[in-house]
Each structure stands twice: as C-alpha cells, then as structure tokens.
Amino acid sequence: MNILCSNDDGILAPGLALLTDVCREVGEVTVVAPDREQSGTSHSLTLHRPLRPARRPDGAYQVDGTPTDCVMLALETLMPERPDFVFSGVNHGPNMGEDVLYSGTVSAAMEGVMLGVPGIAISFNGSDPELMATYRETLVRLVRKITSADEFPRNTLLNINLPRRTASEVQGVKVTQLGSRFFSDSLTRMTDPWGREIMWIGGGTITWTGGADADHAAVADGYISITPLHMDLTNYALIETVRSWNLE
C-alpha cells in the first residue's frame, strides 16, 4: 500500500512526523509538504509563479507552495505510482465546523479526493507535541481500520479531530456532523510604525452551535470525532424554490 502524507503546518511540524511514523506501520509512505506554515490557505493554488519541490536528505519533498499544490505535485509528478490514500496532518489545532472551509489540512485531503484518491484529514485540538504523541498507537489502529475498509466511499473525505487530552483518557470514537461556530471581535484595528491603519485577523471569542452529534461537542466530551465530508455543496432542498423565482 502506498500512502501520501502532507499537511499545512510545514515540513518540520511534529504532527507530520507523527503521521508519517503512523502511516509507515501500514504501508510505504511518501511525504510532500509545504516548506513553511500554510494554515488558513484553504484550497488555494499557486498560479503566478513556478513551484520548486526540493528533496530532503530523509527523502521527503518540501514545496514552496500550498498544501493543495503539494498534493497535486505529488500525484501528478513526484510519485511514480498514484497512492492508495492521502493523509493530511496531524494538524496543530482543531478543524471543526466552518474550519473545514479555511483549513489547508482539510484541503490537502480534499485535493486527493478530487484527483480520485481517498483523503483523510487529522487534527489535534491543541498544540502540545508531547500530548499529541500519546495518540501514536491509537492512530495506528485507526489508520489500519480505515485503510482496510471494504470500500472507501467515492468523493468523500474523513475529517478526524482528536480531543486535547492523553489518548488513554479518550472516551471513544464518534461519527459526527459539522457543527457551526461564530467568531466575535476577531478583527483588530492597529497602526503600523508609520501611523498607517492596519487590520489583523485572528483571535476573538468563539461561540459554537450544534447538537450532541456535532464534531465540537464530541471533542469537548473527550471523543475522537470522525466526520465524513463530500464535495457536493448543492443545497438540494432549495432547488425548486430558486427555480420558482423565474430568473430567466
């Protein structure tokens, strides 16, 4: 089995090292990841300059581009054979609710799906590498089960979030749906050293909504959350309503 590992935290991120180590328990692993942090880049592509993949002494590739660039280059040019799975992560920080629209971690897995390869994104609801490392054996078991499944659904990725606690304290695994979050006070107005106004996006207060089956609720309760996501964003319930508007 051939597995591609990527991420959005960069080639030197401890989470990527953990994921690579885990995936090597079940197959041959190729690592293609950004040369620096690319969090929040979503599904962006680098179109206005060339990309330069560089081979590292350990055999991994670092790319001066986005997570989506990395997966595209890996599948189209860098790997001699297409992988059986694309794993992205382990992200330092959660990717739940609307995060999946901004996340480079999720987008790397999504690019695999768009190119016909099953994708799995894994994130940790924290930033402590030592705490994250306690999940090694848990992730080995999880990756074995996923990669040995009878049939991985087409056009679908799995978005996995690990709670911020040791693996031994995890309550179990829940298959969930996306919750929703609202950010307040996430834009800070500042001035630069020359007195010009600047805006800084980040921080703020998060309010989560969603029922007991939501991803954030499961993670808050100490469960590993697994949310199946698919590419079709069509709101089928509103098709007839919009047709009734007679927009022609």
136-151, pLDDT tens digit by residue?
999 999 999 999 998 8
- Which residues face 142 on adjacent strands? none
Over the range 220-232, which residues count as b (16 or more CB within 10 Å of their CB) and which as e?
A: beebbbbbebeee
176 in a structural domain? yes
143 in a structural domain? yes
Strand 119-124, strand 205-209: pairing: unpaired
198 in a structural domain? no
Least confident span in 83-87, 103-107, 165-169, 201-205: 201-205
92-138, pLDDT tens digit by residue?
999 999 999 999 999 999 999 999 999 999 999 999 999 999 999 99
88 in a structural domain? yes
CA end-to-end span of the chain, whole Å? 51
Q: Supply the range of the domain harboring residue 233.
A: 2-180+211-243
203 in a structural domain? no
Higher pLDDT, 186 or 180: 180
192 in a structural domain? no
23 in a structural domain? yes
| CATH code (residue 169) | 3.40.1210.10
Number of domains forming the structure of the chain: 1
191 in a structural domain? no
